Structure 1
Amino acid sequence: MTAEPGADALGSPPEGGDERAGGRWVGALSLANLGVWVGWFGPLQLLLARQAERFAPDHKASTLALVTGLGAAVSMVANPVFGALSDRTTARVGRRIPWVVAGGAGGVAGLLILAWAPGVAVMAAGWCLVQLALNASFAALTAAVPDQVPRRQRGLVGGWLGVSQVGGILVGTALATVAGGITAGYLACAAFSLLAVVPYVLMRRDAVLDVRDQPPFRWREFVSGFWIDPRRFPDFGWAWLTRFLMNLSYSISTMYLLYYLTDAVHYRGDADTGVLVLTALDAITLLGTVVISGIWSDRTGRRKVFVVWSGLVISAATTLLAVWQTWTGAVVASLVLGVGYGVYTSVDFALLTDVLPAAADRGKDLGVINIANALPQVLAPAIAAPIVTHLGGYGALYALAGAIGVAGSVLVRRIRSVA
């Protein structure tokens, strides 16, 4: 479906007839989203950990926790703010595309800073810029879905966004591994992220907001709008909480994977390659479930049952990492994790778009939801570091991740307005 200039940016996409998001647009959206995830996960999977090891070999875990925690704190603020700004943008090319372009350019700049960072301080500054800028792109891209995709197709589109997410993790990890060093890895991720957004921007299919629909800007109203009262919108509140718990479980599980292989599994090969292999196995099973589950959810009209069971499967995978600390155990856990996360990624995104409070604030409201993605990245290092060091090691860490995931999965049942 094409949103031409002058189209009703605040309306809901029609549900009947032949009104569907076209394949070319979905493909371009997914590719742009892939570029964002490459910019995030090339660093997160390997490059930041290797830089922390280079700059502070005796304190690598705490250094990595500091840098990623600062970046996640920036992300937590940036996503809803840029989402809200895109809601109010009246550019002729649309209200989302300007932020996709600006965010992509800023993300590349941050990756270039990281490529030549001389120490921890510049490394932290570069990562914060990457998080700030790429969250502008991500907020605009995700808000384009409720702008232009009917509810009955959002599971499918969520599935393809899930493909781009796991593809970004895999491609980012691969680029970081094969590029030939930390600097080359960052440069490769920057080039990919920049090129990936071009087709989406050139299509210029974006909802345009009429300036007459734009109320006067008032700081107090702008700031207060970020609080969405869970008593007025309980389903939105439960959706936020369950996503937070599932992402906290996932962040705890993945952030220390490199160190898990070296310190707990005692992997005999190159640990970077080991992380790449596990990521690829995760991707294989995820790709086998993510689109199919989204289509299945659209056709049945049910969301919660998919989210609940996928969360339990994810928790089973983290439990395997806790009790089976061998290379074989890590391989099996990665395969199981991909199955669960594939279903969760597509269907939970569709569920979230179904509980947004207001069409005029889609970008801001999805940004508030995305705090549930970023906040766990702040909390996970603070939780993980003392557990790994003093309170039971990686077995206790992954057991905790599994318990948190179960809680998030069960609480999905509290959402009432979605089947």
Structure 2
Amino acid sequence: MTAAAPAPLVPTAPVSWRFILPYTLATLAMWMAFNAPGQVLIGQQLITLDEANKEANLALILGVGALISLLANPIFGALSDRARGTLGRRRPYLIGGAVAATAGLLLLGVGGSVPVLVAGWGLTQLALNAYQAALTAVIPDRVPPSQRATVSGLAGLSQVLGTILGVGLTGALPVMLAKYALLGALLLLAMLGFVLTSRDPQAPATPPAPLSLAGFLSPLRHRDFALAWLTRGLVTLGYALGTTYLLYFLRDRVGLKDPAAGVFQANLAAGGALLLTVMLGGILSDRLGRRKVFVIGSTVVIATGLLTLALLPTWPGTLAAAALMGAGFGVYLAVDVALITEVLPSAHDSARDLGVINVALTLPQTFAPALCALFVTSLGGYTPLFLAAAVITLISAALVQGIRGVK
């Protein structure tokens, strides 16, 4: 990122592929580092370490990581908004986050016990949330409203492709440390590709207010922002309940002999469906100038996928559910991010406010693993779990109607 003149609070100049491609790759590498360990690698390590207690241990590790994310994302976002050094507002957190996340990934790679895995995942989550807070804020910094759903669609595509590529590439390596080292190396390369080719707009002349707890909570006083926060949280919770224990669902309920390969193939199905919808949804939303109808429709499709998992707990049913969830999630990720950027209360505090939004992504993941374990071990198993996930997701669709400031 090179120095630049102060940018308008709402950018108007369109961005080209010279910005979009490095941004998408930086986002892709981030999601590889987030999703491959959380969906497969840590679960595989726990089967080797303590198979009898794998569900409880996975809930502990993922829950600690999500709790760290809950606090880290808005804090790093607010710090990024207030940065006034020569490196700019976003670049220090992109560089520092990528370097520290690589260290956390390497610690996971050598993890020979549950406490080491907790420490490694905690560090990884802390660092990746610093990186994510800065990277997400680049959209309101640089992208005009007329392109936000399109750019957000590519970022959303990266989330699913990050899982596919992360699981697929690490699955080709025989040594666990090498799997994590690959994720760290790709993250560093993608970060460098972005910060060396994209400018970091100078901060607004008027600095944000000093950090305070009231400041972090203040965005939620705005009705539209609060509803956007709540609906994002409910969709995230529903999706997390449907996917967190997918590895164990395929192994213990469906009966696959290679559940890791099953997770990979399910993500391929989701990614293929997402490819068909993510850009189409984003482009149509931008051209029509409408957000809510796309968010509501995509949420209903996600809920249909979760119902499919509940009612057809078979391998074909899993693939069908994955395709439905991918198709819905593609449109949702593209358009919901654009909707959120249009209800931000303050352009001066965009990274902080987006960090608060990201709490809606991390808060459900704090307790989703424990809820999954509770359903699987004590509340009837996977069918009630997936039914609850579908109901929660449909509630989100109903609440989107209440957002007034966006069509």
TM-score by length of 2: 0.97
Q: Secondary structure at the match of 2:84?
A: coil
Aligned residue pairs: how many? 407
- Corresponding residue for residue 26 of structure 1: 20
Say whether residues 1:146 and 2:135 are aligned partners: no
Q: Secondary structure at the match of 2:316?
A: helix
- Give me the whole-angstrom Cα distance separating, in 1, the residues matched to 2:384 and 2:250: 16
- Give me the whole-angstrom Cα distance separating, in 1, the residues matched to 2:376 and 2:323: 24
- Give me the whole-angstrom Cα distance separating, in 2, the residues matched to 1:312 and 1:371: 23
- Give me the whole-angstrom Cα distance separating, in 2, the residues matched to 1:25 and 1:64: 38
1:229 CA displacement: 5.4
- Corresponding residue for residue 233 of structure 2: 244
Pick aligned residue for 2:243 from 254, 258, 269: 254
- 1:12-411 to 2 correspondences below 5 Å: 12-14=10-12, 19-209=13-203, 213-214=206-207, 218=210, 221-228=211-218, 230=220, 232-267=221-256, 269-411=257-399
Amino acid across the alignment from 1:214: P
> Is the contact between residue 219 and residue 353 of structure 2 (CA under 8 Å) also seen in structure 1?
no
Q: Secondary structure at the match of 2:196?
A: helix
1:228 CA displacement: 2.3
Amino acid across the alignment from 2:250: L
1:243 CA displacement: 0.2
CA RMSD of aligned residues (A): 1.5
CA 1:347/1:248 → structure 2, altered by over 3 Å: closer, same or farther? same
1:209 CA displacement: 1.9
- Give me the whole-angstrom Cα distance separating, in 2, the residues matched to 1:252 and 1:32: 27
Pick aligned residue for 1:11 from 9, 12, 37: 9
Amino acid across the alignment from 1:371: V
Q: Secondary structure at the match of 1:49?
A: helix
Amino acid across the alignment from 1:339: A
Q: Secondary structure at the match of 1:365?
A: helix
Amino acid across the alignment from 2:144: P
> Is the contact between residue 207 and residue 348 of structure 2 (CA under 8 Å) also seen in structure 1?
no
> Is the contact between residue 2 and residue 196 of structure 2 (CA under 8 Å) also seen in structure 1?
no
> Is the contact between residue 388 and residue 394 of structure 1 (CA under 8 Å) also seen in structure 2?
yes
Amino acid across the alignment from 1:363: A
Amino acid across the alignment from 2:153: G
1:224 CA displacement: 2.1
- Give me the whole-angstrom Cα distance separating, in 2, the residues matched to 1:92 and 1:11: 20
Q: Secondary structure at the match of 1:227?
A: helix
- Give me the whole-angstrom Cα distance separating, in 1, the residues matched to 2:95 and 2:74: 17
- Give me the whole-angstrom Cα distance separating, in 2, the residues matched to 1:64 and 1:266: 20
> Is the contact between residue 42 and residue 186 of structure 1 (CA under 8 Å) also seen in structure 2?
no
- Runs of 4+ aligned residues of structure 1 deviating over 6 Å after TM superposition are none
Q: Secondary structure at the match of 1:194?
A: helix
1:273 CA displacement: 0.7
- Give me the whole-angstrom Cα distance separating, in 2, the residues matched to 1:94 and 1:320: 47
Amino acid across the alignment from 1:84: A
**Which shifted more, 123-132 or 381-390?**
381-390
Amino acid across the alignment from 1:150: P
Residue deviations 1:26-65 (CA, integer Å, cap 9, x gap): 1111111111111111101111101222222110000000
1:4 CA displacement: 4.7
- Give me the whole-angstrom Cα distance separating, in 2, the residues matched to 1:382 and 1:116: 25
- Give me the whole-angstrom Cα distance separating, in 2, the residues matched to 1:179 and 1:351: 40
Q: Secondary structure at the match of 2:216?
A: coil
CA 1:91/1:203 → structure 2, altered by over 3 Å: closer, same or farther? farther
Amino acid across the alignment from 2:240: S
Residue deviations 1:298-328 (CA, integer Å, cap 9, x gap): 0000000000010000000011000101111
Residue deviations 1:194-215 (CA, integer Å, cap 9, x gap): 21212101114111226x5336
TM-score by length of 1: 0.94
- Give me the whole-angstrom Cα distance separating, in 2, the residues matched to 1:224 and 1:74: 20
